[in-house]
Amino acid sequence: MKIVYADNNATTQVAPEVFQAMKPYFNEDYFNPSSMYEPARKTSQALGAARAEIAAALGCGDPRQIIFTSCATESNNAAIFGVASAGGGFGGKRRHIITTTVEHPAVLGVCKEMQRRGYEVTYLPVDHDGNLNVGDFIRSLRSDTLLVTIMHGNNETGVVFPVEQLSRLTKETDSQIVFHTDATQTVGKLPVDLDGDFRHVDLLSFSGHKIHAPKGVGALFMRRGTPCRPFLIGGHQECGRRAGTENVPYIIGLAKAVVRAVGNREEDYQHTARLRDRLQKAIEERISHIQVNCKNAPRLPTTLNVSCHYVEGEGMLFQLSEEGICASSGSACTSGSLEPSHVLLALDVPFTAVHGSIRFSLSRYNTDADIDWIIEVFPRTVANLRNLSPYWDKKTDSPRSNVDELIRQTH
C-alpha cells in the first residue's frame, strides 16, 4: 500500500543529502571532537563548520551563540530552567513568567513545574482564530517579569505569533526581561533573522527532525550576555553551556538540513501552501459541518487543522491509516490520549467538533497525487463515521433535528 505521509509537524523523513553528509561521521571521522590528536581536530573542525553554517543560515553573526542539544524539548527546558536558575541577574527577585495557553507541552510542562517551584505564570489566551491580543501581552508585562516564552509557529494549528513585535515590545518595556521563543515549527520554513528582525529574541529553540534531519538533535540559540545557567552540567563542551560529548554525525545532519531548508524556503513555501490550499478548498467543498481552524490567522503553509462535527478524531485516523494516510488528531505528543488537545480547547472549538479534529501537515516531499488521495478518502471517511453517529441522521445526511437535546442528555 502506498503511504501518504501528512504528519510532517510530528516528524519528517531524513533527506537523502542529509543522510549522505552524516555518514562519514559514524565510522570514518568518528573521533571525540574534544580529543587532542590530529584526526579529532578534523572532527572538531567539522563541528565548528556546522555551527557556523547554522548561524549564517539564521542570520546570527556569532556562531558561538548556537548551542547543540538533543532535541527542542531539551532546548526549551534549558532555556526556561536556565534563566530561572540564573535568577535573571536579580538574585531571584523576579519570579513572573509569561507564556501562552497554546504552547507545546515542552514549554507548558516546564511552566507548570516553575509554578510548583513558586514562580507565577501568566498564560495568555488566544481568540477563536488562534491570535494573541498584543494589548493583553503588553499589560501582562510586570516589574517582576523574569521571562517571556512564546512560540513562533504552533504545531497543531500552524498559527504564527508575531515574535519580532512581541520581543521588541518586551525590550522596550524592560530590557532586562529575557525573551525566549520555541521556533521548532518555523526554522527553515519562515524567515528567522537573529541579528535582524529577531534581534530582541534572547533564546530560540529548534530541532532537526521537523526539517528532514534525524530525531535526537536540536539547538538553542543563546544571545551573548543572556543570563542563563547551564541545564546539563558536567564536561566543558559547548563552552561549558551544555555538557556531554557532542553528537557529531547528527549535528552535521542538522547543519545540512538547516542550510537546505533555508535555501529552499521560498520554493517549499509556495509548494506546501499550494497543496495545503488545494486540500483545504476540497474539504470545504465536499464535507459539510466542518471548520478549518485558524484559517483567518497568519499560518504556516504546511499545516491544515480541520474540526469535523459529529465524528471522532481517533476513528478518522484509524480509517485514514487503513487507506495509507498518516495524519494526526492533535500534536503527536498528545495523540495517545483521547482528551481534546489543549490548543483546540483554547480556541473554544465547539463540543461537537473538538473530538473530531484532524491535522494534515505537509512537507516538500508531498505531491499533488498525495492530495488527490486524501481528497478521495477523507470525505468518504467522515461520511462513514457520521453514519454511525447517534447525532447524525443518515436519511437526510445532516445532524438530527434534536441534536442539541441529545447532546444535553448524554453530557
Of 254-273, which residues contact ligand PLP (CB under 6 A)? Answer: none
73 binds ligand PLP (CB under 6 A): yes
Measured between alpha carbons, how far is 69 from 251 in angstroms, rounded to an integer?
9
In whole angstroms, give the CA distance from residue 117 to residue 112.
9
What sections of 132-264 are H helices per DSSP? 134-140, 163-173, 248-263
Residue 238: all three cell numbers together: 559547548
Q: Does residue 72 belong to the site contacting ligand PLP (CB under 6 A)?
A: yes
Minimum Å gap between C-beta 99 and ligand PLP is 12
Query: Is 333 annotated in the active site?
Result: yes
Least Å distance, CB 382 to ligand PLP, is: 26
CA separation for the pair 107, 7 (Å, rounded): 21
How many C-beta atoms surround the C-beta of residue 193 within 10 A? Answer: 12
Residue ranges of alpha helices (H) inside 153-310 are 163-173, 248-263, 265-286
Q: What share of the chain is helix, strand, coil (3-state, %, to 5)?
A: 40, 15, 40
Which of 14, 54, 106, 121: binder of ligand PLP (CB under 6 A)?
106
Nearer to ligand PLP, 155 or 389 (CB): 155
Site string for ligand PLP, 153-192 (x = CB under 6 A): --x--------------------------x-xx-------
CB 63 within 8 A of CB 52: yes
H helix runs in 287-367, sequence order: 313-322, 342-346, 351-354
The owner of cell 521548532 is 184
> Which alpha helices (DSSP H) does 117-263 contain, by range?
134-140, 163-173, 248-263
Between 352 and 361, whose beta carbon lies closer to ligand PLP? 361
Q: Per rule CB under 6 A, is residue 104 in the interface with ligand PLP?
A: yes
Q: Can residue 71 be called a binding residue for ligand PLP (CB under 6 A)?
A: yes
Nearer residue to ligand PLP within complex by CB, 43 or 185: 185
Only one of the segments 71-79, 138-146, 296-304, 356-364 lies at the binding site for ligand PLP (rule: CB under 6 A); that segment is 71-79
Q: Which of 60, 111, 228, 333 is catalytic?
A: 333
Bridge partners, residue 258, by sequence:
none
330 belongs to the binding site for ligand PLP (CB under 6 A): no
Distance separating alpha carbons of residues 255 and 208, to the nearest angstrom = 9
Stretch that binds ligand PLP, among 42-50, 68-76, 224-232, 258-266 (CB under 6 A): 68-76
Among 77, 122, 157, 207, binds ligand PLP (CB under 6 A): 207
Q: Report in angstroms how near the CB of residue 335 gets to ligand PLP at its nearest.
A: 11
Q: Which residues touch 184 (CB under 8 Å, ≥6 apart)?
A: 72, 104, 151, 153, 155, 205, 206, 207, 210, 218
Nearer to ligand PLP, 11 or 140 (CB): 11
Through-space distance between the first and last CA atoms of the chain, rounded to whole angstroms: 40
Binding of residue 218 to ligand PLP (CB under 6 A): yes
Q: Which residue lies nearer to ligand PLP by CB, 191 or 216?
A: 216
Q: Does 379 bind ligand PLP (CB under 6 A)?
A: no
Q: Which is nearer to ligand PLP, 94 or 260 (CB)?
A: 260
- Tell me whether residue 189 or residue 276 sits nearer to ligand PLP (CB atom): 189
Q: How far is the CB of 185 from ligand PLP (least distance, A)?
A: 5
Number of residues engaging ligand PLP in binding (CB under 6 A): 14
Contact 137, 169 (CB under 8 A): yes
The set of catalytic residues is 333
Residues near ligand PLP, by CB under 6 A: 71-73, 104, 106, 151, 155, 182, 184-185, 207, 218, 331-332
